[in-house]
Structure 1
Amino acid sequence: MTNVDAKPPTTSPTHLAPEGLQAHLVVDHTPFRLDITVTATPGEVLALLGPNGAGKTTALRALAGLTPLAAGHLHLDGTDLHRTPPESRPVGVVFQDYLLFPHLTALDNVAFGPRCHGATKPQARAQAAEWLARMGLTDHASTKPRHLSGGQAQRVALARALATHPRLLLLDEPLAALDARTRLEVRAQLRRHLADFEAVAVLVTHDPLDAMVLADRLIVIEHGSVVQEGTPSEIARRPRTDYVAQLVGLNLYKGTAEGHTVHLEAGPTLTTTEDLKGPVFVAFPPSAVTLYRDRPTTSSARNLWRCEVAGLETHGDQIRAALSGELPLTADLTTVAAAELDLHPGAPVWATVKATQTHAYPA
């Protein structure tokens, strides 16, 4: 198991300041073990991204105090929360299914938090009314959850979490329960609300678009460990695992560079524009791959492999071809091109990629 604490810090020096979140989360559920370091500054939105079973929700529950730590630490604004019970932590949570009280109106759902923190009923309802107004839900104050749309319920849950003025806001797959059309609208609304939040927000998601749009920084978790972290643009441009490469839609390979030539672990070589030496990653988009049924004689591409079509699927307005052979890779082409090439599973093809369309970087 990699000890992520032993890694040199990859965040800016401000992440070492007393304010904000500094946590080393170790949770041991044999055979699964979570061991990650999470830091964030006030005003920052951090996304924990990873496949199902990676440990994202376990990390969120540990931050909320719902899952005990086996080791490590949890500091928020300089205060040790390791032994603080969940109900006493300055933490707001928006659960995946929102968990609104079905017998309470939207107003009273939001007022519940302030009431638990000592506000009188009139005070709590006044605060709740302000939060519903911020969310554009004043007209739904007397509505019960079963009569709210998915987007409205999500905003009520967010208002309820924010009404207690938390120093840490946790969002567990906050858009997962929404249909595609509602998700687009609510994602934009959520981004605006998070931009106004002055404390730390941690978002758990398996959706790369949610993470890229909502977060300032990403931590990618696989098998209970951090495999990559950085800004959305850094993650998208330089993936370091197959999972991340698939998320951002790139072909990714690891090899050893000698100048412009990379000897891939998968077998063949790749020519790149970068002049590097030593272990590297090479990435390129599926759109960079050109397919031919016969070996091309006029192509200027430096990279050429004999492949076989392993599968075809619709990808937006294009066809995505999974290729096996000398170099397993993914190619995107138009439906017209796919028809002209008579592509079908088992069809032999030649694949080319120009060196100028590859991107190599140190591993």
Structure 2
Amino acid sequence: MTDIDETAHRVRADDGPDTGLDAHLVVDRGGFRLDVPLAAAPGEVVALLGPNGAGKTTALRALAGLVPLTGGRLRLDGAELERTPPEKRPVGVVFQDYLLFPHLSALDNVAFGPRCQGATRAEARAQAAEWLARMGLADHAGAKPRRLSGGQAQRVAVARALATRPRLLLLDEPLAALDARTRLEVRAQLRRHLAEFEAVAVLVTHDPLDAMVLADRLVVVEHGRVVQEGTPSEIARRPRTDYIAQLVGLNLYRGRAEGHLVRLESGTALTTTEKLTGPAFVAFPPGAVTLHRERPADTSARNLWRCEVAGLETHGDRIRADLTGDLALAADLTTVAAAELGLEPGAGVWAAVKAAQTHAYPA
């Protein structure tokens, strides 16, 4: 049993066979094959992460019934959904561009779902008013979508999805269309609403911060397959692919450990404080790297490499140097330090990292 299957089994064992999501999504689309096991307990928020073309959106559409499975299974609260039409599934969807009905008010957009489920117009509007109040939008009930800000439209879309009381909530890049300031505010609000949601929520996002803040568990998909899953802290501490390492902001290397030394295929060795034997990863943040124009004679760092500056870019309030040479790595330093070192593309530098600032773990 793989780590991924063990996780799915653990969720089902803890919460019983008839609750939550139990899926194995297999979709063949020409030259692309999605093969993703996915399980989640009621009340759990799972984020699907991965580069463009990894299969995240295909997985979400398969859960919604918009893309048919060519294999595997899809069960929700014990019921098989593979042959259930999309409109009959207890699934709510929040699309990236919200897809609000432009001719309806915010109230009637939210009331649309309950009306489709058989509620009277008065009942549906009463439920919709309650949901808009929860979202802090009671004063905007009569506004058409064009009169709403991006953040308000996003909250209406979430209310519309929740008003049908779904057993599975799907969110496709729900914050992507927002500006930075609005995103910060709406992310906090969305986290609160998801924390109160009693069923399963699956979130697709490219933004690691959205995933870390909103999700209880991350599932990383590359080339149609799950390459790693775990809590945000587990993923951030022990990335297993270059994509994940870049996502969480770490330099990552794979080699063979012999005690405190991990030797890479290139022959370069890294000294760590952990003692391991066999295949291993070594990771460290760009901020752990110190740069010198001359080989330092007084450094206590056990790792020292001759490098060349391949590029420089602003990264937050710091400068990130992309280095090649004995070891390809990223280093973060202040603008003042970069100026004092005279860093520019092509400049030669020595890069040092203390063993205590590395983290080694089995591959």
Cα distance between partner residues in 1 of 2:276 and 2:245: 21
What secondary structure is seen at the aligned counterpart in 2 of 1:229? strand
What secondary structure is seen at the aligned counterpart in 2 of 1:212? helix
Show CA shifts across 1:230-262 (max 9, x none).
000000000000000000000000000000000
Show CA shifts across 1:136-191 (max 9, x none).
10000000000000000000000000001000000000000101110000000000
Indicate whether 1:13 and 2:6 are aligned.
no
Moved over 4 A (4+): 4-8
What secondary structure is seen at the aligned counterpart in 2 of 1:99? coil
Indicate whether 1:167 and 2:164 are aligned.
no
1:273 aligns with: 273
Cα distance between partner residues in 2 of 1:277 and 1:6: 21
Percent of residue pairs identical:
79
Shift of 1:332: 0.4
Cα distance between partner residues in 1 of 2:2 and 2:71: 12
Cα distance between partner residues in 2 of 1:9 and 1:160: 35
1:347 aligns with: 347
What secondary structure is seen at the aligned counterpart in 2 of 1:10? helix
Cα distance between partner residues in 2 of 1:358 and 1:117: 56
What secondary structure is seen at the aligned counterpart in 1 of 2:6? coil
Shift of 1:30: 1.5
**Matching of residues 1-363 of structure 1 within 5 Å:** 8-10=5-7, 13-16=10-13, 17-18=16-17, 19-363=19-363
Cα distance between partner residues in 1 of 2:123 and 2:249: 50
What secondary structure is seen at the aligned counterpart in 1 of 2:183? helix
Shift of 1:316: 1.1
Paired amino acid for 2:153: A
Shift of 1:317: 1.1
What secondary structure is seen at the aligned counterpart in 2 of 1:9? helix
Shift of 1:12: 6.9
Shift of 1:10: 3.0
What secondary structure is seen at the aligned counterpart in 2 of 1:198? coil
Shift of 1:264: 1.2
Show CA shifts across 1:54-111 (max 9, x none).
1000000000000000100000000000100000000000000000000000000000
Paired amino acid for 2:279: P
Please list every run of 5 or more consecutive structure 1 residues that lacks an aligned counterpart in the other structure: none
With over 3 angstroms needed to count, the CA separation of the structure-2 counterparts of 1:243 and 1:257, relative to structure 1, is: same
Show CA shifts across 1:33-74 (max 9, x none).
110001000000000011111100000000000000010000
- CA contact under 8 A between 2:8 and 2:22: conserved in structure 1? no
What secondary structure is seen at the aligned counterpart in 2 of 1:62? helix
- CA contact under 8 A between 1:5 and 1:37: conserved in structure 2? no
Please list every run of 5 or more consecutive structure 2 residues that lacks an aligned counterpart in the other structure: none
Scaled by the length of structure 2, the TM-score of the pair is: 0.97
Output the aligned Cα RMSD.
1.2
Shift of 1:15: 3.1
Paired amino acid for 1:316: G
Shift of 1:8: 4.4
Shift of 1:13: 2.2
Scaled by the length of structure 1, the TM-score of the pair is: 0.97
Q: Which moved more, 1:27-36 or 1:14-23?
A: 14-23
With over 3 angstroms needed to count, the CA separation of the structure-2 counterparts of 1:204 and 1:313, relative to structure 1, is: same
What secondary structure is seen at the aligned counterpart in 1 of 2:170? strand
